[in-house]
Amino acid sequence: MDRFSPLKNPLVIALDVDSDTQALKLAVDLADFAGGYKLGPRLIHRYGPEFVAKIAEIAPLFVDCKFFDIPSTMESAVQASFDCGASLVTVHAMAGREALTRLAELEKKLNEQRPFRILAVTILTSWNEKSFPANFKSLPVAEHVQNLVELVQSSGLSGVVCSPEELDFLQGKDLYLVAPGIRPESVSKDDQQRTRTPFEAMKAGASALVIGRPIIAATDPMKAALEISLTMVGR
């Protein structure tokens, strides 16, 4: 698969709203700008697979439920997401080698039907060293990310979700790097701790950027999406 596959372009718009009507309107209105749309539990659990399939008909769909369970349950959850139309699905890298290895085999199988990626989440962008759970080793975020990425690659997967701060040292490793926590200079960081601008993240090697509130909460979402699309390439 090429650098941006299975997306139309590297901009993934996160439809982090509570209404299916609002989400569908945003998806239709922003279709000219979106490389894909991200859905999370707040909409998926409320409106179910039929709603998920509707979004997937508009643009490539990123199901972001960060599955973290025993291997067989994770396999079933990824398969169910694919069956609903997902082109990208997140799992937690911390699920371990057995789960990731089995998921890598599933990814190969599903790619025989259409382009599909499993993305392993490393360290959430809302975390830093001060907010780690007490059972975490006392290591910098970057070391945790590096260790998890090594596990992901050795298990056979190449898709990784990481903050834009980690993009620099993950370049050149033949990875599909998806970066959330993207904020234009004029926009608040909200609850994100490790952020960069769209241009900075793309320059640092991101394959795709996940952007929600700076677009969907804007007074004019289409204008915001256009401006972000242009800044991604330095215009």
Instruction: Kindly list the catalytic residues.
Output: 66
What SS3 class is residue 157?
coil
Q: Any bridge partners for residue 86, and if so which?
A: 61
3-state secondary structure 206-223: CCEEEECHHHHCCCCHHH
Which residues in 184-209 are b (16+ Cβ under 10 Å) and which e? eeebeeeebbbbbbbbbbbebbbbbb
Unique residue bearing structure tokens 């707040």: 42
Using alpha carbons only, how large is the chain's radius of gyration in Å?
A: 17
Find out whether 152 and 93 touch, Cβ atoms under 8 Å. yes
Pairing of strands 36-39, 117-121: unpaired
Question: What's the rounded Cα separation, in Å, for the pair 87 and 92?
Answer: 17
- What is the rounded distance in angstroms from the CA atom of residue 98 to the CA atom of residue 211? 31
With beta carbons less than 8 A apart as the criterion, state whether 165 and 194 touch. yes
Amino acid at 87: S
